């Protein structure tokens, strides 16, 4: 047996150790939505292929309040993953981004990201701290096109027409509205998606709400969303398992015709592509209607974002990956993973022509003057943390719409004071 000289052995050890130290494992925390998982898998696989020295350890978290609390706890304790996805807008501001999140304004990809998105991931110090992760979304109602065709129904442009459709669907022995309160966050849609209609009736509501001059409980147009939750429950329009069903169940129900409607954000079509691809074009979409057909439009959510905690042990590597995710190449990878679920906010990232029917239904709202309004959480820093619990109670017949609106006003007051907003 040939012995290796000690000097050569030492050199080999140093070289191997250097290689080991050069390898970087980036920890990533994402929500457990199928579209999120597919997007992150596509991005990390491509990035490791181009950068073999970087690999990823991906962890999933729940959505809703549980996910919010996990994010805040890990940031506060310095245990956050190197990269994580989370909401933009008011929930981003609640993370105290100037203290907890890394400055991403210097990334090359920022040159191609639309300013409309940058505003919702910018801290009070004017520093951009996120890149878009996914498509812009509309809040409205998915519907089963086959049920509509079989019953001769038309897409409603007023709430009264929507409820009339539900009555005909119920009479035909089908479930009019799927609700999925097993995922509590999904209970908020009838309230949050109604903001386009609120803005048409009370144009200054967002500013007055932020300044403690307007309340849900005392503004009839704003309280209408809570009333909608109460009305569909009292009419017996919900699926029998609405209290236990979850998001994927709701998308499956509307895709397969087990239910006619499902109130949801437009990212949901990604779940159908993943789980019920044969039914992809059986699903249509319309904006949540209000009282006036002449003012029918869409409440719009900005995409979630990817963030890097300021205390990341792999700060430069994490920023480099997030920079890739915010590029045109990264955007195209996400479209390839999930199809087109809505417009992306990265210049040069174009949607394919063969978009699903529900996406095609959404795009005209973006193309019409005055056809969209940002959701309230992008116009105001206030979004009470307990809204989803309140909307579950109202939508389950436990709490009245009027009491639910009052409870949410109280919930909002706590958060506004925590943020130090004037006049609270």
Residue 255 maps to which CATH number? 3.40.190.10
pLDDT per position as a tens digit, 301-340: 999 999 999 999 999 999 999 999 999 999 999 999 988 8
Share of the chain above pLDDT 70, in %: 95
Which residues lie below 8 Å from residue 129, measured CB to CB, with a gap of 6+? 92, 97, 101, 102, 103, 104, 105, 121, 122, 123, 307
pLDDT of 18: 43
- The answer to whether residue 422 scores a pLDDT higher than 70 is yes
Which residues lie below 8 Å from residue 103, measured CB to CB, with a gap of 6+? 127, 128, 129
- The answer to whether residue 19 scores a pLDDT higher than 50 is no
> Which one has a higher pLDDT value, 159 or 353?
159
Element (H, E) at 260: strand 259-265
> Exposed e or buried b for every residue in 365-379, given b needs 16+ CB within 10 A?
beeeeebbbbbbbbb
Q: Looking at 35-122, which runs of residues are DSSP E strands?
A: 54-61, 83-86
Please tell me the pTM assigned to this model: 0.80
Q: Quote the Cα angle for 317-340-345, to 5°.
A: 55
Q: Is 97 exposed, middle or buried (0-12, 13-18, 19+ CB in 10 A)?
A: buried
Tokens 């004037």 sit on residue:
422
Of 13-17, 70-74, 241-245, which gets the smallest average pLDDT? Answer: 13-17
Residues 321 and 415 in one domain: no
Residues 148 and 126 in one domain: no
pLDDT of 339: 80
pLDDT per position as a tens digit, 278-300: 999 999 999 999 999 999 999 99
pLDDT of 331: 97
- The answer to whether residue 17 scores a pLDDT higher than 80 is no
**How far is residue 130 CA from its own chain's centroid?**
15
Cα distance between residue 328 and residue 355, in whole Å:
18
Q: Report yes or no on 311 lying in a domain.
A: yes
pLDDT per position as a tens digit, 355-411: 999 999 998 998 888 899 999 999 998 888 899 999 999 999 999 999 999 999 999
Q: Is 89 in contact with 313 (CB distance < 8 Å)?
A: no
For 93, phi and psi rounded to 5 degrees?
Answer: -65, -30
Residues 200 and 240 in one domain: yes
The interaxial angle of helices 220-234 and 387-395, nearest 10 deg, is 50
Residue 116 belongs to domain spanning? 25-135+302-338
pLDDT per position as a tens digit, 132-152: 999 999 999 999 999 999 999
Residue range 209-228: average pLDDT? 97
pLDDT per position as a tens digit, 31-86: 998 889 999 999 999 999 999 999 999 999 998 888 999 999 999 999 999 999 99
Residues 324 and 248 in one domain: no
Residues 251 and 398 in one domain: yes
- CA trace torsion 160, 390, 132, 333 (10° rounding): -80
Residues 293 and 307 in one domain: no
Cα distance between residue 261 and residue 274, in whole Å:
19
Residues 127 and 66 in one domain: yes
Q: Report yes or no on 353 lying in a domain.
A: no
pLDDT of 21: 45
Residues 269 and 365 in one domain: yes
Q: Report yes or no on 43 lying in a domain.
A: yes
Q: Report yes or no on 316 lying in a domain.
A: yes
- The answer to whether residue 5 scores a pLDDT higher than 50 is no
How far apart, in Å, are the Cα atoms of 207 and each of 91, 152, 339, 340, 379? 17, 42, 36, 33, 8
């Amino acid at each position: 047996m040939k012995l290796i000289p000690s000097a050569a052995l030492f050199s080999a050890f140093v070289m191997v150790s250097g290689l080991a130290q050069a390898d970087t494992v980036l920890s990533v925390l994402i929500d457990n939505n199928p579209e999120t998982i597919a997007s992150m898998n596509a991005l990390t696989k491509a990035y490791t292929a181009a950068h073999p020295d970087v690999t990823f350890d991906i962890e999933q978290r729940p959505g809703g309040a549980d996910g919010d609390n996990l994010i805040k706890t890990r940031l506060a304790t310095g245990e956050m993953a190197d990269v994580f996805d989370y909401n933009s807008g008011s929930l981003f501001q609640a993370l105290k981004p100037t203290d907890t999140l890394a400055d991403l304004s210097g990334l090359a990809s920022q040159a191609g990201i639309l300013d409309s998105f940058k505003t919702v991931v910018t801290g009070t110090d004017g520093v951009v701290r996120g890149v878009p992760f996914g498509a812009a979304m509309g809040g409205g109602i998915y519907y089963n096109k086959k049920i509509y065709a079989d019953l001769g129904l038309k897409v409603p442009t007023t709430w009264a027409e929507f409820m009339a459709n539900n009555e005909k669907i119920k009479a035909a022995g089908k479930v009019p509205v799927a609700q999925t309160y097993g995922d509590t966050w999904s209970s908020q849609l009838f309230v949050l998606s109604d903001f386009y209609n609120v803005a048409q009736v009370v144009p200054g509501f967002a500013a007055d709400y932020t300044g403690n001059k307007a309340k849900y409980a005392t503004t009839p147009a704003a309280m209408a969303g809570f009333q909608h939750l109460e009305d569909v429950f009292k009419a017996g329009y919900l699926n029998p398992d609405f209290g236990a069903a979850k998001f994927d169940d709701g998308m499956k129900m509307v895709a397969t015709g087990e239910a006619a409607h499902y109130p949801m954000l437009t990212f949901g079509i990604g779940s159908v592509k993943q789980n019920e691809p044969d039914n992809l074009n059986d699903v249509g979409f319309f904006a949540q209607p209000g009282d006036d057909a002449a003012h029918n439009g869409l409440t719009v959510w900005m995409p979630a974002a990817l963030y890097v905690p300021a205390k990341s042990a792999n700060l430069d590597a994490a920023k480099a990956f997030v920079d890739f995710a915010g590029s045109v190449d990264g955007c195209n990878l996400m479209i390839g993973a999930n199809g087109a679920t809505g417009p992306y906010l990265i210049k040069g990232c174009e949607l394919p022509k063969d978009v699903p029917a529900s996406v095609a239904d959404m795009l005209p709202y973006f193309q019409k003057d005055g056809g969209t309004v940002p959701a309230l959480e992008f116009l105001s820093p206030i979004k009470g943390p307990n809204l989803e619990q309140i909307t579950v109670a109202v939508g389950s017949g436990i709490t009245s719409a009027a009491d639910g609106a009052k409870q949410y006003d109280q919930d909002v007051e706590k958060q506004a004071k925590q943020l130090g907003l004037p006049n609270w």
